[in-house]
DNA sequence: TTTGCTGCAAATAGTTTGCAGAGAC
DNA sequence: GTCTCTGCAAACTATTTGCAGCAAA
């Protein structure tokens, strides 16, 4: 998809503009982040890259994700159980719907959140900088395959 | 406050109904959960109880919170950085506003969330079971004391 | 008296870090 | 040629678990 190529180019350019070197490992990680629809995990990224780079280290994945986060080009979805999922396509806060069975993560369309932000700011006196909204449930495929 | 006493009684009764023993350590943990407005952390609970029970173990705090969670009487707010905060007053999902400076957590009043749940369910085909909504920002006290 | 609970210490697991060699520019 | 990056292994830290003694009911 054209969007994914754009994302790849955008992130690579931003890395270069910030003076970071473009190693093959780094580019492989960027490529996966840019082209994934499915909010991959660190392990997921690591496994995909090990096919082409058998010596790839998990530490390198962690370090590069940290770097790409620092330039604002990936959204980290950390969960309290310690799992992490990454969105390289929409690196800004947006709601997620998570299937608790198959762990699929979907981006719903919701536009009432901006109103809510203002409502919360007005009510609490906080200056709101960020937010996180997750819905947990059962997706239609998992709901159909009842055990 | 009467509400807090009610919460304490409710949780103790539910523990007894489930056949759990009422040890002094357990009751001390319940008391803190029931009376706290401020969403305490495990360390926070631990430190408060050590004043009266110097031999109290962190493991006991963890085990009892797990138990109280299992009977649905405390809401665990786990954060991706590994920190945890607990709400023994409203043990059901509700939005939170978190100050990123002083770590204060406030419960805002928001009623548009139920509509959102239905909207998401209709749009994605998920059966929504749970949700989590956090706003992050600077509270008015921290905003006033600019460094 | 029975059974579950506590305290201690060790184990666990995802992530981070130190270091020496490799490689982008 | 310089300076960052990588891979490996060790370190880190919040939480969990095994076990022996203790205590609620």
Q: With contact defined as beta carbons under 8 Å apart, do B121 and A137 qualify?
A: yes
Domain A2-87 falls in which CATH fold? Arc Repressor Mutant, subunit A (1.10.10)
Residues whose beta carbon sits under 7 Å from strand C: A 16, 21-24, 42, 58-59, 62-63, 66, 78, 82-84; B 19-21, 23, 25-26, 53, 55-57, 59-60, 63-64, 67
Whether A136 sits inside 8 A of B128 (CB atoms) is yes
Q: What is the pLDDT averaged over residues B39-45?
A: 95
Q: B125 pLDDT exceeds 70?
A: yes
Q: A69 pLDDT exceeds 70?
A: yes
Q: What is the pLDDT averaged over residues A90-116?
A: 92
Quote the pLDDT of residue B3.
76
Give me chain A's average pLDDT, please: 93
Q: B120 pLDDT exceeds 90?
A: yes
> What is the percentage of chain A residues whose pLDDT exceeds 90?
84
Please write the tens of the pLDDT for every residue from B3-26. Answer: 777 999 999 999 999 999 999 999
Instruction: Answer with the residue of higher pLDDT: B147 or A95.
Output: A95
Instruction: Round to whole Å and give the CA distance between A25 and B142.
Output: 42
Q: With contact defined as beta carbons under 8 Å apart, do A80 and A121 qualify?
A: no
Least CA distance to B139: which residue of chain A? A126
H or E stretch including A144?
helix A140-144
Backbone angles phi, psi at A134, to 5 degrees: -125, 135
In this complex, the nucleotide whose C1' atom is nearest to the CA atom of residue B16 is D25
pTM: 0.92
Measured at the alpha carbon of residue A100, what is the angle toward residues B39 and B137, in degrees to the nearest 5?
35
Instruction: Round to whole Å and give the CA distance between B32 and B14.
Output: 16
Instruction: Round to whole Å and give the CA distance between A40 and A22.
Output: 21
Of A57-66, A111-120, B62-71, which range is least confident?
A111-120
In this complex, the nucleotide whose C1' atom is nearest to the CA atom of residue B18 is C4
Please write the tens of the pLDDT for every residue from B48-107. Answer: 999 989 999 999 999 999 999 999 999 999 999 989 999 999 999 999 999 999 999 999
Q: Where are the domains of chain A?
A: 2-87, 96-144
Q: With contact defined as beta carbons under 8 Å apart, do A4 and A35 qualify?
A: yes
> What is the percentage of chain A residues whose pLDDT exceeds 70?
97
Instruction: Round to whole Å and give the CA distance between A110 and B133.
Output: 14
Quote the pLDDT of residue B97.
97
Quote the pLDDT of residue A141.
95
In this complex, the nucleotide whose C1' atom is nearest to the CA atom of residue A26 is D5
Q: What is the pLDDT averaged over residues B32-40?
A: 93
Please write the tens of the pLDDT for every residue from A36-51. Answer: 888 999 999 999 999 9
Architecture of domain B96-144: 2-Layer Sandwich (3.30)
Both tokens of B1, joined, read 């406050």
Quote the pLDDT of residue A145.
72
Q: A147 pLDDT exceeds 70?
A: no
Does any CB of chain B come closer than 8 Å to the CB of residue A22?
Answer: no
Whether B123 sits inside 8 A of A100 (CB atoms) is no
Quote the pLDDT of residue B2.
57
Q: What is the pLDDT averaged over residues A116-121?
A: 94
Q: With contact defined as beta carbons under 8 Å apart, do B144 and B101 qualify?
A: no
List the A1 CA – D15 C1' distance (angstroms). Answer: 43
**What is the DSSP code (8-state) at residue B127?**
E
Whether A135 sits inside 8 A of B117 (CB atoms) is yes
Quote the pLDDT of residue A111.
80
Beta carbons within 8 Å of B123's beta carbon, 6+ residues apart: A108, A109
Strands B75-78 and B127-138 turn out to be unpaired
Quote the pLDDT of residue A146.
63
Q: With contact defined as beta carbons under 8 Å apart, do A102 and A141 qualify?
A: yes
Nucleotides of chain C in contact with protein CB (under 7 A) are 4-10, 13-18, 23-25
């Amino acid at each position: 998809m054209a969007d994914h190529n754009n994302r790849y180019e955008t992130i690579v350019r931003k890395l270069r503009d910030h003076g970071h070197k473009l190693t093959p490992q780094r580019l492989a990680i960027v490529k996966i982040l840019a082209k994934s629809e499915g909010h991959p995990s660190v392990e997921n990224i690591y496994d995909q890259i090990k096919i082409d780079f058998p010596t790839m280290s998990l530490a390198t994945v962690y370090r590069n994700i940290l770097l790409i986060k620092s330039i604002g080009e990936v959204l980290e979805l950390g969960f309290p159980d310690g799992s992490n999922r990454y969105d390289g396509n929409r690196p800004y806060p947006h709601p997620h719907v998570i299937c608790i069975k198959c762990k699929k993560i979907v981006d719903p369309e919701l536009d009432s959140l901006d109103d809510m932000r203002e409502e919360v700011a007005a009510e609490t006196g906080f200056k709101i900088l960020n937010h996180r909204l997750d819905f947990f449930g059962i997706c239609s495929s998992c709901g159909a395959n009842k055990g």
